[in-house]
Structure 1
Amino acid sequence: MEAFKMTQDLTSTVTLNNGVAMPIFGLGVWQADNASAENAVYAALKHGYRMIDTAKQYGNETGVGRGIARALQDGLITRDQLFVTSKVANGDHGYAQTTAKIEGTLHRLQLDYLDLYLIHWPVDGLYVETWRALEDLYKAGKVRVIGVSNFDVHRLQVLLRQGNIVPAVNQVEFNPQMQEQEMRAFAKQHGIQVEGWSPLGHGSAMGDPVIGAIAAAHKKTPAQVILRFDVQSGVITIPKTVHEQRLVENADIWDFALSDIEMAAIAGLDKNERSLWYPAFGWYGSDTDFGMATQKWPDSPADYDA
């Protein structure tokens, strides 16, 4: 994995540990229904985005696929310019399940391959087997890059010991108040690129006076300063929105840079506190309500058309 370089625009990339170039900024679509996801994806690609992040768990792969198909048909982008991520749902863990269920994801997305496929949550007792399935999907050309999401250092160590391929990406919560210092240091040591979901901390950091003062100095919004901090920290960043104006604003972070002093000031806001609900999920076992719900989800594309 190459060292992070100062970024210039939405086409900027970082080279992963298998040599694939991944955009450092993209669109997340968590909590969007299919119609909203379709429109957001189309608008994002129209405005220069090149990376879209979804998951079977989100229930909107069909909408994302429609947005991509429209953009391709209208000539906004070509497939080789696009980087699409999806994730293995909790109920799809295990070698046979993972190997089979990717076909539903590809069908819903209207794609022949994924650019990045992640284990969404480390379901204990199954994630090593699931990782072996991802390794074989990678070798078969179904995916260009494989990685994980929401893995701590211990579970990354397990994969490094028992797997054959080092994960290229670990997608975790990253924002000024949750900076994953231990995991990021471990990832850097082993050539694993960190990608950050909830880069704005669910809005919790935008009212901080440190952020506000830096935003005023640069004539930017607090959100733009936070997103610049995320990217400048070397973290691939995927803010979620379904509003066209907001996705344009989110991407307007390439005409300024934070100084070392400003970066240090924002780094000092780290509370090691997660902004969202998932601590109640424990370490993501399939015996929780969340895990059981995903196991019940069908795979027919029609079942994702709500």
Structure 2
Amino acid sequence: MGAAQAATIGVILPGSWPSQQQAEALQQGMTLALKTWPGDAVPTLVIKDSACDARKAEAAANELIQAKVDIVLGNWCEIGNGADHLKAAGIPLVSNNAERVQGKDLQLQLGRIELYAAERIATELRRETGLRISARTSCWLDFEATLNERVDAVLCPVMAVDKTRWEQVANTYTAAFRKPFTPSAARGYAAMEVALNYLRRAKAGKAAVALRDTQATSTLFGPVPASDAPAPATALQLVFAPHLPKLSPQQAQTMDKLVKSKGCGCPGGTLRDGCPKDGSPWSDMPFVVRGGGTPAACSAAIGVLEL
């Protein structure tokens, strides 16, 4: 890749489903990052649609291989699909799913959560509380926790950001596109940051070496997670509906322990703000309960004290 030759970046977006608005925000976030590209030539984007469908994502990856792109950004909602084809072709992938697949070469993964960990947590929570708790909602794409009448709570990924950089990028984004800077736009921006950092390093070296060096860079979301890094205690948030169904005494006791251990800013069950020193069965799990600053306030916020 010569100094004056523009690189080509393949992008697999969920363009036609579930939300064209989210796909547009993802792409606009990428566009903003491209506008600050300090290289000799601005990379060209080749965009394909996955519609959050595994088979379509694999087909899109194959089309990008045929297009001979230099790197691919994908896996916003599907995970791992097309990665093996890209690896065989020697094309790096920036995987943007909140979950991670272990042991993948030629990948930079921005997710912080072990694969299927959220569903395992949700399954245990459903068994212990009797509540309808989902770990598979739209929040895994837009990082915005929303509930509907079919669930009592949702388990969603939490976006960790560099607050100073967020404010700077948000102001520039709003000025450029005349709209608020959303989590989807931020995800697109961060993914493009990683791709551009890789391309800068790949000009005079092998892909694997360039990827290794890119791993040490920082994005809008802070440092790129190490491939073997455990999920932080705050990687997920459990968000309850305003009104919960009546629980049995045992279920209510479980809820009380859960909220005291995982709410109130004490995800590890440490002695702080009144949280229990000895923790609970939930203490080591990578999620927090969204609520107030004390166990009582957290409980009140999700209706536990009214049961």
TM bucket normalised to smaller: under 0.3
Of structures 1 and 2, the one scoring higher in RCO (CA 8 A, sep 6+) is 1
Which protein has the bigger helix share? 1
Larger radius of gyration: 2
* TM-score, scaled to structure 2: 0.28
